[in-house]
Structure 1
């Protein structure tokens, strides 16, 4: 009885008599290096915080920007409007020092983010409001009166 081993085109060895599919060394190494490692390096790992998720919605009379930023205080945020550019940012620096008889432990922390949005010209800039509640920063961007959607009406024919 002879054991024949099939060698597929990718060069890995597989035993046709086995129901187990073990990856070859080359495919295993390729899998490690071809994973989506780039996403790790494109995140803001050096700032200590990733960009918070944002939901933007529009109603007939306003836009709403809701940002998920749990664990923060409203004093941690800065919101600026320059021209049509709305910027929401935060920068937190933390330093703790603990001393005991024969050692000192110091811990430093830093986290920051900045999100910017170009506003449509229909936003009434003077009436923009923001509030922070239960980990959600909400920015209310009311539309100018002339930009608000009017309810449909019937026009009579003369």
Structure 2
């Protein structure tokens, strides 16, 4: 069963009142629109004193599905997954996370140390830690007031 929002206050000039409300409800839903626009996993990027952190949410994959490449200053995360025979036998009524292939690329800042990049994949999240160069690390000290 699907719930459809109807707006009785809206004056429609169409021949079938409420007909356009059905499509407005479906196509103006932000959750639906977000999925129509992009079929790549969401990413969080953060920074600590010593590292940059990239977290990519990609449930349903295995760590072997990912390929991480660094060329010049571009970090590329890609997945090329063949269709799973087990999944093809299932009859999904709704399937929101299925990535057969995608590519995400990020330009590393000059302060990143491209020789110290580590990646782990646990609980559906790919975590990439990129160390900062020594000269880029924040210097903290107490300043005496005279």
TM-score w.r.t. length of structure 1: 0.64
Q: Which has the higher contact order (CA 8 A, sep 6+)?
A: 2
Q: 1:40 to 1:151 in 2, by over 3 A?
A: closer
Q: Tell me how far apart the structure 1 counterparts of residues 13 and 101 of structure 2 sit (CA, whole Å).
A: 41
Q: 1:149 to 1:40 in 2, by over 3 A?
A: closer
Shift of 1:82: 1.0
The structure 2 residue matched to 1:130, chosen from 113, 119, 128, is: 119
Shift of 1:29: 4.1
The structure 1 residue matched to 2:132, chosen from 143, 146, 155, is: 143
Which has the larger Rg? 1
Shift of 1:152: 2.0
Query: What is the aligned length?
Result: 125
Shift of 1:111: 0.8
Mapped contact 1:93–1:110 kept (Cα < 8 A)? no
Residue by residue over 1:37-67, the C-alpha shift from the partner in whole angstroms, topping out at 9 and shown as x without a partner, is 89379535xxxxx211111111111110011
Check if 1:94 corresponds to 2:83: yes
Q: Tell me how far apart the structure 1 counterparts of residues 10 and 71 of structure 2 sit (CA, whole Å).
A: 59
Shift of 1:96: 3.6
Which ranges in structure 1 are unaligned for 5 or more consecutive residues?
A: 1-19, 45-49, 98-104
TM-score w.r.t. length of structure 2: 0.69
Which ranges in structure 2 are unaligned for 5 or more consecutive residues?
A: 1-7, 91-97
Query: Who is 1:16 aligned against?
Result: none
